Amino acid sequence: MSRQMHAFENKEALSRATCLAFIALARQTIEERGLFRVALSGGSTPQQLYEMLAETSLPWDRIHWFWGDERCVPHDHADSNYRMVREALLDPIGAADDTVFPVPVDVDDPAATAQRYEATLREQFAGQDAPQWDLALQGMGDDAHTASLFPETQAINETDRWFVENWVPKFDAHRFTLTAPAINSARNIWFLVSGVNKRKALDSVWNGPSQPAQVPSQLICPDHEGLVWWITHDVLT
């Protein structure tokens, strides 16, 4: 597995660079295959990227938006990744409903929610062994989780399903997440990581012993060239 790392002075520079790279990749992909399918990360780091993308001009009708993970909350909840992306990007660009594929959260039935989204993904990526995203955007927590693959949780062991519910003891709540195989199948996987609080986690992912149960971001190791880490200098030891 080859992996690249680009380091930037601050989050604005990181967001601007990833925005330019996103535009280039999307244009090239749409030219070659007519459609660009991206699995979005939640959390706070990518929000500025989404806001910058909203100020650009792309063939939005040829971009399909999916979520790599979601919280077990209604779409209008402050913690919803869907709400964050809608406000930062999808509403400003006027994304058409048929290009947006949110996780259909039913807070009373997490299992059914995950099954329904899995069915959506298998429909959208029909005939594939795993969803071949053109781009999967990943964040990383200070515990080295990515998406909602948290240390010592059930979802990190899932290898057949593409999308699952995951009980996360630290939040005493369910989350929803792509499984590692359903992320590794992406043509391009970009981690966006910023903040001194991520330093230890990044070091454990890059330089530590292989222990994915405790360092879930180590599960993201595609067998191709497309893994790129976009980080700020403060994350480097």
Ligand X SMILES: O=C(O)[C@H](O)[C@@H](O)[C@H](O)[C@H](O)COP(=O)(O)O
Which CB sits closer to ligand X, 35 or 181? 181
The residue to which tokens 């519910």 are assigned: 165
3-state SS, residue 130: coil
Q: Does 208 bind ligand X (CB under 6 A)?
A: no
Of the ranges 91-99, 113-121, 126-134, 145-153, which one interacts with ligand X (CB under 6 A)?
145-153
Q: Does 199 bind ligand X (CB under 6 A)?
A: no
Q: Does 48 bind ligand X (CB under 6 A)?
A: no
What is the spatial distance between Cα 79 and Cα 96, in angstroms, rounded to a whole number? 23
Q: Which of 15, 80, 81, 218 binds ligand X (CB under 6 A)?
A: 81
Which CB sits closer to ligand X, 30 or 51? 51
Q: How far is the CB of 103 from ligand X (least distance, A)?
A: 11
CB within 8 Å of 230: residues ≥ 6 apart:
6, 8, 14, 17, 18, 190, 191, 192, 193
Q: Does 110 bind ligand X (CB under 6 A)?
A: no
CB atoms within 10 A of CB 124: 13
Q: Does 43 bind ligand X (CB under 6 A)?
A: yes
Backbone φ and ψ for 102, nearest 5 degrees, come out as: -75, 160
Q: Which of 105, 144, 147, 201 binds ligand X (CB under 6 A)?
A: 147
Which CB sits closer to ligand X, 69 or 134? 69
Q: Does 165 bind ligand X (CB under 6 A)?
A: no
Two structure tokens written together for 55:
């100020």
Q: How far is the CB of 34 from ligand X (least distance, A)?
A: 28
CA neighbor of 121 nearest in space, from 135, 134, 106, 131 = 131
Q: How far is the CB of 36 from ligand X (least distance, A)?
A: 20
CA neighbor of 85 nearest in space, from 46, 30, 58, 111 = 46
Backbone φ and ψ for 193, nearest 5 degrees, come out as: -135, 130
Which CB sits closer to ligand X, 17 or 30? 17
How big is the site for ligand X, counted in residues (CB under 6 A)?
14
Backbone φ and ψ for 160, nearest 5 degrees, come out as: -100, -45
Contact residues: ligand X, CB under 6 A: 41-45, 69, 81, 139-141, 145-148
